[in-house]
Amino acid sequence: MRILLVEDDAETADYVARGLTEAGHLVDRASDGREGLILASDGGYDALVVDRMLPKLDGLGLVRALRAAGVKTPALFLTARAGVGDRVEGLEAGGDDYLVKPFAFAELLARLNALARRPPLQGEPTVLRVGDLEMDLLRRTVARAGKRIELQPREFRLLEYLMRRPGQVATRTMLLEGVWDFHFDPRTSVVETHISRLRAKVDRDFGAELIHTVRGAGYAIRAPGG
């Protein structure tokens, strides 16, 4: 395989590059996210190994930019951040796998080989739709029935979480982890407050309700009649 390694720690980069080369792979290296993005943009690699914390452009931003440009090269994140929310964030940014430092090289090699065996992924959608509600992930805009809806960043993130799972119930715990990165219950009304604000902007002036409370469970977004 031809592999791009994007890692700013020289010791780690030397270790990984040497192991991959000894395993018969061709390895190019980049020491920051911006350089990695430039090298990976032509889609000429079989796999990317990307450190999450990088100078100039972090690993999440690098992979998001590639996916937005239509580059589907499988990407494996290397990171010292082991939380569930961190792994979910990496995967939702467009990563294909996630390996926590310190790691065994044999596992890294096995995961890269597994990625190479996967069938090509379909392109990630850049526009989400539920009924007449539309979210453009690239322009970071939301409109319903053609009318622009202005959202605060956290409101946008909450709505995106729901729209990526139309018809599915999102529990309070899921939303706290996925939107606020809380891995405990802070015993505040932050979820309820933001859901209320979203409803005021998304539903109030449009007749049909899209955001629903599922009693005893959580919240869901679905098109009328869905």
Residues 90 and 137 in one domain: no
Residues 210 and 104 in one domain: no
Residues 134 and 182 in one domain: yes
Using one digit for the tens of pLDDT, what is the confidence trace for 17-32? Answer: 999 998 888 899 999 9
Does residue 40 carry a pLDDT above 70? yes
Residues 206 and 132 in one domain: yes
Residues 80 and 11 in one domain: yes
Residues 156 and 84 in one domain: no
Euclidean distance between CA atoms 92 and 98, whole angstroms: 11
Euclidean distance between CA atoms 185 and 126, whole angstroms: 32
Residues 102 and 15 in one domain: yes
Euclidean distance between CA atoms 44 and 86, whole angstroms: 28
Q: What is the CATH number of the domain that holds 48?
A: 3.40.50.2300
Region for residue 62 given its phi and psi (left: phi exceeds 0; alpha: psi -120 to 50; beta: otherwise): alpha
Residues 95 and 153 in one domain: no
Residues 62 and 143 in one domain: no
User: pLDDT higher for 123 or 8?
Assistant: 8
Give 199's pLDDT tier (boundaries 50, 70, 90).
Answer: very high
Mean pLDDT value of segment 32-43: 90
* Residue 96: φ, ψ to 5°: -105, -20
Residues 206 and 143 in one domain: yes
Q: Give whichever of 48-57, 87-96, 109-118 has the largest mean pLDDT.
A: 48-57
% of residues, the chain, pLDDT over 90: 51
